[in-house]
Amino acid sequence: MKKLIITSLATATLLGASSVQAKFNVDTILTNWEERSYAQAKPGFADVGLADSALTLTATAGLKTPSIHPNLAFEADLLTTIVDGESSFSTPVGNTTVKASVFGLGGYAVGNYYDLPVENLVPFVRAGLAYTSVDISSSYASASGSSFGLGLGVGLRYSVDNRLNAIVDFTSTDVDVFSAGVQYSF
C-alpha cells in the first residue's frame, strides 16, 4: 500500500510538472501572437479532372511560432471556387457541359527555409489535414463528394518589404491547387 501511495504521489507530481510546462509553452506561443500572425490571399487553379480547371481563391491565416522552432509556422486555409471548371461533351441527345466546383478547409504545419543564398527568397513545405468537397453537375445529373485526408504543399515566398510578401504554392489534397498571391504580416 505504501509503495502504491508513493508511486501515485510521484506520478501526480510528474504530471503536474508537465502540465505546468505545457501551460508555459502555450502561454509562450500565444504571447505577442499579433506580431507573429499573417494573412494570405491567393487566386489559383484547381485540377478538378475537366478540360478547364476551376478558378479558386485561397484565404490563409498563419502564425509563426519561434518559441517552438524559428522555421515553423501553422496555417489554416479556406479554399473556394470563383469560376467552375468545365468540359463540354457531345451526347446522342445533344451537347452538354459538365461543371465542377471545389471547397476546402485545411490546417497545416509549415516549415520555412531561410538560408538560401538568394536574398528575400524563402522556400517552404506544408503538411496537414484537409477537408475537400467537390460538386459536379450537368444538365442531366449532379454529384458531390467529400473527403478528409492528408494535405501536402510546397512553395516560395519573396519578401517585398518587412510586411508584404509575394507567394506561390502548390498544394495537393484530393484536388491539386496551384496558386499565387500576397502575404501580409501584421
Chain segment 49-90, per-residue pLDDT in tens? 899 999 999 999 999 998 889 999 999 999 999 999 999 988
What are the strands, taking DSSP E only, across 30-141? 37-47, 54-64, 72-83, 85-91, 94-112, 121-137
pLDDT the model gives residue 89: 84
Q: Worst-scoring range by mean pLDDT, 25-34, 60-69, 91-100? A: 25-34
pLDDT the model gives residue 19: 41
Confidence of residue 29 (pLDDT cuts 50, 70, 90): low
SS3 at position 91: strand
Confidence of residue 34 (pLDDT cuts 50, 70, 90): confident
For residues 86 and 138, is the Cβ–Cβ distance under 8 A?
no
Q: 41 in the Ramachandran plot: left (φ > 0), alpha (ψ -120 to 50) or beta?
A: beta
Q: Work out the mean pLDDT of the chain and round it to a whole number.
A: 86
For residues 62 and 45, is the Cβ–Cβ distance under 8 A?
no
SS3 at position 66: coil
Answer yes or no: is pLDDT of 140 > 60.
Answer: yes
Grid cell locating 141: 445529373
Confidence of residue 23 (pLDDT cuts 50, 70, 90): very low
Q: List all residues 6 or more positions away from 161 whose beta carbon is below 8 Å from its beta carbon.
A: none
Count of beta carbons in the 10 Å neighbourhood of residue 99? 20
Confidence (pTM)? 0.79
